[in-house]
Amino acid sequence: MIGSKLLRRSAGVAFIIVMVLLATFAVQIYQEKYTEVVLVTLRTDRVGNQLNDSSEVKARGVVVGNVRSIERSTEGAASITLALEPDKVHRIPRDVTALLIPKTLFGERYVQLSLPEGTGFEPIAQGDVIRQDRSANAIELERVFDDLLPVLKAVQPQKLSVTLSAISTALDGRGERLGEAMVTTAAYLEEFNPNLPTLTDDLRDLATVSELYGDIAPDLLDALTESTTTLNTVADKRVELTDLYAQVTSSAQDVTIFLRNNKENLIQLAAASRAPLEVAARYSPSFPCTLKAMTDLKPSMDRVLGKGTNKPGLHINASITHDRGAYLPGRDAPVYDQSTGPRCYPSGVSPTAGVVAAPTGGSGHPLLSGSGGDLGLANSPQERELIATLLGDQTPAWGSVLVGPLYRGTEVTLR
């Protein structure tokens, strides 16, 4: 009796032990404890809460292993043990990188192996360490998922349902019009795409112009600030400005009437002024030296006219010398045959001592003295001025033609 009870108890204990062993064996088989794998380690700066043990490991969309364990550090980094299938290891290079990607927006993550380009490589082996993919695209993708998940968690389902229902109601029955709008948009984009390089250049130039405006913005703001003073002055003087505008308008009307009434006279004046202006243009090179000679003559004339003395006025001693005989036609007739253009007469030099031509660019000859001695040419301006000084009002202006031949060859002393 006692032996049978002991036997039954032993059988029960053995059954329980066998069941526990079978359950443990089944769990280990499920965890692939007895499956031959290649263990590698993945180092990542963060892992999140969506990556779990037994999560899949994929390469180009094909499952090549799973996650065995995850060890997290206090800084947020993690060391993940990956179990890779031996028959697929030869297709995975040693320099492979990994990226943690969610299966869905709210689903768990899996390990995505990023295989480098190229055919010749050394396959990954037991104990190798895989680094996290730090390329720009990978970082941007992780940032998008990390930023999108809090937004999706913050969205209230009932409000999202109401929003989607409103959108559905708004689009109901408008599919054809929406399709036409999309087709039209596509046509616009097809025409717009060839101009993208030009748009890119314009945007680049816009950036340059914006930088320039940014540099001159302080000066522009100062100018606008200072312009307020001018604007205030204009505002204070608006009454005076109104009167000024009225006067300007009236003056403009008067000028209009004047031009309308005298337009023919102005045209005739312009036509008649052509000849004098041409002569003035021809002799314009002599204007500077003429004005300079007049300036140089002023001190001498002041001295001759007795400026600053108690005997003002012109004092001369005239000595009459032997004449040259009777007037002979053809010999003593006044002749002015010079046509060499503008001339410069140096100050303090007799006209018969030589003349300096004005810089006209021509090839004129020096002015030669005539038969009138120191008086210059016959009936010249110098001779007429001297005769007018000697005779005063006794002879008219044309009298030098008659009196000049009598005085030529005589000597006049000025004191």
Residues 227-273 pLDDT 10s: 888 888 889 988 998 989 999 999 999 999 999 999 999 999 999 99
Residue 54 sits in the same domain as residue 135: yes
Q: What is the pTM of this model?
A: 0.34
Choosing from 153, 188, 207, the residue where a domain stops is 153
* Residue 122 pLDDT: 85
Per-residue pLDDT, averaged over 191-198, amounts to 88
Q: Which of 74-83, 185-194, 197-206, 370-379 has the lowest mean pLDDT?
A: 370-379
Packed helices 381-391 and 400-407: angle between N→C axes, nearest 10 degrees: 90
pLDDT for 101 equals: 82
Is it the case that residue 127 has pLDDT exceeding 60?
A: yes
Decide: residue 264, CB within 10 A, 0-12 exposed, 13-18 middle, 19+ buried: exposed
pLDDT of residue 146: 67
Q: The tokens of 180 are what?
A: 């036409």
321 and 288 share a domain? yes
Is 105 found in the same domain as 24? no
Question: What backbone torsions phi and psi does residue 127 show, to the nearest 5 degrees?
Answer: 85, 0
Check whether 20 has a pLDDT greater than 70: yes
**41 and 66 belong to one structural domain:** yes
Residues 6+ apart with CB under 8 A from 39: 68, 81, 82, 83, 84, 126, 127
| C-alpha closest to that of 59 among 86, 28, 22, 92 | 92
Q: In terms of domains, do 69 and 17 share one? A: no
> Would you say residue 235 lies in a domain?
no
**What tokens does 314 get?**
């012109």
The token duo for 292 is: 């300079």
Strand, coil or helix: 107:
coil
- Rounded distance, CA 342 to CA 199, Å? 66
- Express each pLDDT in 136-179 by its tens digit: 666 666 677 666 667 767 777 778 788 888 888 888 888 888 88
Please check whether residue 210 lies inside any domain of the structure. Answer: no
What is the spatial distance between Cα 120 and Cα 304, in angstroms, rounded to a whole number? 116
Cβ proximity of 56 and 98 under 8 Å = no
Please list, in sequence order, all residues whose beta carbon lies within 8 angstroms of the beta carbon of residue 360, skipping any fewer than 6 positions away. 285, 341, 342
| Same-domain check for residues 298 and 403 | yes
pLDDT for position 372: 41
Tell me: do 130 and 13 sit in the same domain. Answer: no
Q: Are residues 73 and 22 in the same domain?
A: no
Amino acid in position 24: T
* CB-facing half-sphere around the CA of 83: CA atoms within 13 A: 16
- 368, part of any domain: yes
Q: Per the domain annotation, does 23 fall within a domain? A: yes
Q: Which of 105, 126, 153 is the last residue of a domain?
A: 153
Q: Are residues 53 and 129 in the same domain?
A: yes
Among 153, 179, 206, where does a domain finish? 153
Collapsing DSSP states into helix, strand and coil, what is residue 208?
A: helix
Taking residues 131-136, what's their average pLDDT?
Answer: 76
Residue 96 maps to a domain: yes
Distance CA 194, CA 203 (A): 16
Structure tokens at 9: 């108890």
* 20 and 75 within one domain: no
Could you give the number of structural domains in the chain?
3
Does residue 375 sit within a domain? yes
Q: Which residue has the higher pLDDT, 323 or 286?
A: 286
Rg (CA), the chain: 59
Identify the domain containing residue 10 by its residue range: 1-30
Q: Which amino acid is at 92?
A: I
User: What pLDDT does residue 371 have?
Assistant: 40
293, 410: one domain: yes
Whether 225 maps to a domain, the answer reads: no
Same domain? 61 vs 126: yes
User: Does 359 reside within a domain?
Assistant: yes
Share of the chain above pLDDT 90, in %: 11
